[in-house]
């Protein structure tokens, strides 16, 4: 049986690289995509940081206020998800030329099983070079590629020579390839697990390879057995074609904790609008709706509702999100952050929905709104606009 050959292709600093390609004046500058830092008083987070920004210690998920303090001269930009999705679609089309077996795991990375196309394209290294060349020619962006006999090692390999690198682990050499690397490279080893294992003297993947798996199970439960297998480079997971995003979400952090009920409702409606446009661009339908709410003091809650059938219209999402919020009951506590997520997604081409007449009407409205957005016109739904304040007296 032929050994599997899998590529993990990971775009380099995707969001910020897109901004630098679209605006060449940003080339070589520290660029941060995320919330508005508001001179260091912003309350959102970093979505992405360019390699220039990372040299200052900025990374995704960091509070935007901290990123500003680390590098106040960085260029801070809001995310342009429509543009990122557009380029992602084109990049995935390039991948399809080299393999029919593609598993997209995020907007900027995918696994390709090239076992059956090696002879067609002159070997795996040729495939990797061609992919990098095609992506750069068509988008101006670079990517890093890991090559291995399984997904675990291919993904680790793609991270070793970033940006713009190709790293290959020959089949059968997985254990030796992984041994000198930090345990943080293993899937599932987060900060706390890393600190715990290092406190016991295990710093490299090779250290984990040499530990008795039963001892690891005593330390970490069933996860210890999985971790030992991963450390040895054993991973039997197949590349699953036509994989799609598991969820789409939008969230916002208020500048000041708020109990303004009207403002909270209008913010939720605006978030619903942003989510709907993203899933419609990607041609998805959703079945599960989730509200995220963070209150003063950082207590964070989620509430979800799974529908009887898939939907892709604003009316359904807005109705369910507002129902979840009303039933939440925050009391007198103020709100710091709100988020809206849809999950349990399906490609619309795979879904046969029996729509009622009023739902069909909403779909037509959505198509008109999408058409206006695509023409670059600035249209806001009436429900997103706050009504004018009544004058006193």
Residue carrying structure tokens 């419609």:
280
Tell me how far apart the alpha carbons of residues 79 and 340 are, in angstroms, rounded to a whole number: 17
Domain 175-231 has CATH 3.40.190.80: no
Edge-to-edge strand ranges of the sheet holding 6-11: 102-106, 109-113, 6-11, 143-148, 166-168
CA angle 89, 359, 355 (to 5 degrees): 85
Paired tokens of 77: 């930009």
Tell me how far apart the alpha carbons of residues 354 and 344 are, in angstroms, rounded to a whole number: 18
Task: Kindly report the backbone phi and psi dihedral angles of residue 33, in degrees, each rounded to the nearest multiple of 5, phi listed first.
Answer: -105, 130
Cα→Cα distances 56→29, 72, 329, Å: 12, 10, 42
171-181: average pLDDT? 97
- Label residue 45 by pLDDT band (50, 70, 90): confident
pLDDT at position 370, please?
Answer: 53
200-216: average pLDDT? 94
62-88: average pLDDT? 94
Quick one: which of 307, 386, 313, 302 has its CA closest to 344?
Answer: 307
Is the confidence at residue 202, as pLDDT, over 80?
A: yes
pLDDT at position 281, please?
Answer: 74
pLDDT at position 283, please?
Answer: 73
DSSP string, 38-105: GGGT--SBEEEE-HHHHTTT--TTSBHHHHHHH-TTSEEE---HHHHHHHHHHHHHHHHHH-S-EEEE
Greater model confidence, 178 or 370? 178
Look at residue 205 and give its three-state secondary structure: helix
Is the confidence at residue 124, as pLDDT, over 90?
A: yes
pLDDT at position 2, please?
Answer: 66
Are the C-beta atoms of residues 205 and 169 closer than 8 Å to each other? no
pLDDT at position 188, please?
Answer: 81
pLDDT at position 245, please?
Answer: 62
Tell me how far apart the alpha carbons of residues 219 and 224 are, in angstroms, rounded to a whole number: 7
Catalytic residue among 19, 52, 103, 109: 109
Percentage of residues in the chain with pLDDT exceeding 90?
A: 67
276, burial (CB in 10 Å: exposed 0-12, middle 13-18, buried 19+): buried
CATH topology of domain 247-384: Dna Ligase; domain 1 (3.30.1490)
The pLDDT tens digits for 236-256 are 998 988 655 678 899 998 888
Cα→Cα distances 260→65, 244, 376, Å: 24, 37, 32
Task: Kindly report the backbone phi and psi dihedral angles of residue 328, in degrees, each rounded to the nearest multiple of 5, phi listed first.
Answer: -65, -50
pLDDT at position 376, please?
Answer: 47
159, burial (CB in 10 Å: exposed 0-12, middle 13-18, buried 19+): middle
Look at residue 126 and give its three-state secondary structure: helix
19-33, 50-64, 249-263 — which is least confidently predicted?
249-263
pLDDT at position 241, please?
Answer: 80
Are the C-beta atoms of residues 70 and 56 closer than 8 Å to each other? yes
Is the confidence at residue 27, as pLDDT, over 90?
A: yes
Is the confidence at residue 377, as pLDDT, over 50?
A: no
- Label residue 189 by pLDDT band (50, 70, 90): confident
Provide the total of helices (H) and of strands (E) in the chain, helices listed first. Answer: 14, 13
Is the confidence at residue 133, as pLDDT, over 70?
A: yes
The pLDDT tens digits for 317-368 are 999 999 999 999 888 899 999 999 999 888 654 443 333 334 444 445 455 5
CATH of the domain spanning 1-50+75-172? 3.30.70.270
Are the C-beta atoms of residues 230 and 188 closer than 8 Å to each other? yes
Tell me how far apart the alpha carbons of residues 18 and 112 are, in angstroms, rounded to a whole number: 23
Measured from the Cβ of residue 137, the count of other Cβ atoms closer than 10 Å reads 9
Q: How confident is the prediction for the chain on average, in pLDDT?
A: 87
Q: Is 103 designated active site?
A: no
* Domain boundaries defined on the chain: 1-50+75-172, 175-231, 247-384
Residue carrying structure tokens 């998805």:
284
165-175: average pLDDT? 97
Which bin fits 278, alpha (ψ -120 to 50), beta or left (φ > 0)?
alpha
Is the confidence at residue 303, as pLDDT, over 90?
A: yes
Are the C-beta atoms of residues 77 and 15 closer than 8 Å to each other? no
Whether pTM > 0.85 for this model: the answer is: no
**Dihedral of alpha carbons 266, 267, 270, 271, sign:** negative
């Amino acid at each position: 049986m032929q050994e599997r050959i899998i590529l993990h292709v990971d775009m380099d600093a995707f969001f910020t690289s897109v901004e630098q390609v679209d605006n060449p004046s940003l080339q070589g500058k520290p660029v941060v995509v995320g919330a508005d830092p508001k001179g260091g008083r912003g309350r959102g987070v970093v979505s992405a940081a360019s390699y220039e920004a990372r040299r200052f210690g900025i990374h995704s998920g960091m509070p935007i206020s901290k990123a500003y303090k680390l590098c106040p001269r960085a260029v801070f930009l809001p995310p342009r998800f429509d543009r990122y999705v557009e380029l992602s679609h084109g990049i995935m089309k390039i991948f399809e030329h080299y393999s029919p077996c593609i598993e997209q795991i995020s907007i900027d990375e995918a696994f390709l099983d090239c076992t059956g196309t090696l002879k067609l394209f002159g070997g795996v290294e040729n495939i990797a070079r061609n992919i990098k060349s095609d992506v750069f020619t068509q988008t101006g962006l670079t990517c890093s590629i890991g090559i291995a006999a399984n997904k675990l090692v291919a993904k680790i390999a793609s991270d070793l020579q970033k940006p713009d690198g190709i790293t290959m682990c020959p089949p059968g050499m997985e254990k030796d390839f992984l041994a000198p690397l930090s345990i943080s490279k293993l899937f599932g080893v987060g900060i706390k697990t890393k600190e715990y294992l290092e406190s016991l003297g295990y710093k490299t993947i090779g250290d984990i390879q040499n530990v008795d798996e039963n001892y690891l199970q005593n330390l970490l439960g069933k996860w210890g057995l999985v971790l030992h297998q991963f450390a040895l480079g054993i991973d039997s997971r197949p590349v699953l074609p036509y994989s799609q995003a598991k969820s789409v979400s939008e969230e916002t952090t208020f500048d000041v904790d708020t109990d303004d009920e009207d403002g909270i409702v209008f913010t939720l409606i605006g978030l619903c609008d942003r989510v709907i446009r993203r899933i419609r661009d990607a041609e998805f339908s959703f079945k599960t709706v989730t509200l995220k709410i963070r209150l003063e003091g950082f207590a964070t809650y989620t509430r979800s509702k799974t529908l009887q059938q898939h939907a892709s219209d604003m009316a359904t999402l807005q109705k369910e999100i507002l129902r979840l919020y009303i039933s939440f009951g925050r009391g007198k506590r103020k709100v710091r952050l709100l988020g809206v997520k849809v999950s349990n997604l399906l490609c619309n081409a795979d879904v046969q929905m029996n729509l009622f007449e009023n739902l069909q009407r909403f779909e037509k409205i959505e198509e008109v709104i999408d058409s206006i957005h695509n023409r670059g016109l600035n249209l806001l739904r009436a429900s997103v606009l706050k009504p004018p304040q009544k004058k006193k007296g």
